[in-house]
Amino acid sequence: MNVTNIDPESVFNRLKSRKAIPYYFVVPFFVVWAIFYLYPLLWAIWLSFNNYSFTGLQFVGLEHYETILSPGSQFLQSVVITGIITLMVVPVQVVLSLVFAIVLDSGYTRFVKILRSGYILPLAISTVVMAAFLALLLNRNGLVNLLLNDLIGQQVSWITDPLAAKVSVAITHNWRTIGLFVIIYLAGLQNVPPNLYRAAKIDGANRLQSF
């Protein structure tokens, strides 16, 4: 096609067409996404195959991947520890948040507003403040160990002991995030039409079956 034969007016009219307008709105998103997400991702992948120094890049192939996947590497230990903490967090998170949502949705408790403020409060606290607060609670002379010492005459190294550290991380994560899942479950429960419960009751369904 000869470029000199292109009519600028026809091109401008195409750009002004209604079919092209939606694409104009998504172009800024893709530009930002490419600059701040796609390019750093591709650059990080390329760096993983190189040794970086002030003198430049030296291609080493799969050497870094062989190092992190070798037996006894810190990366594999981190994967195992992450898996253990996930098993500690997810079941408790799902069950407790669902129970709290059911209690709040049932209307049996008189302190609904207080409970709602209680599970939303951890979401409003910054991560730095939460970490500092929990460090004071869980250190050697913290409030938790003082209570354990009075109750059972024994203290726990919540930060230095491997198992206790995993438990403390799981408890902290659950305390931090359960409120978010309560909101999600509660929104789902409150969007169920009451007619469905009445219809299930007429059909002979018990509370568990209705749930």
CA distances 104 to 11, 79, 110, 117, 130, Å, are 60, 36, 10, 12, 25
With cut-offs at 50, 70 and 90, classify the pLDDT of residue 85.
Answer: very high
Instruction: Kindly tell me if the per-residue pLDDT of 1 is higher than 60.
Output: no
Listed ranges 8-12, 21-25, 101-105; the one with the highest mean pLDDT: 101-105
Q: How far apart are CA 75 and CA 147, in angstroms?
A: 36
Alpha-carbon gap, residue 98 to 68, rounded angstroms: 38
Residue written as token pair 């931090």? 176
**For residue 101, what pLDDT band results from cuts at 50, 70 and 90?**
confident
| pLDDT score, position 139 | 79
The H or E element spanning position 58 is strand 56-59
Q: Give the pTM.
A: 0.67
Write down the pLDDT at residue 129.
82
Letter for the amino acid at 186? Answer: L
Question: What is the pLDDT at residue 43?
Answer: 93
If pLDDT is split at 50, 70 and 90, which confidence band does 91 have?
Answer: very high
Phi, psi of 51 (to 5 degrees): -95, 125
Q: To 10 degrees, the CA torsion angle through 148, 151, 152, 154? A: 30
Rounded to whole angstroms, the Cα distance separating 185 from 182 reads 5
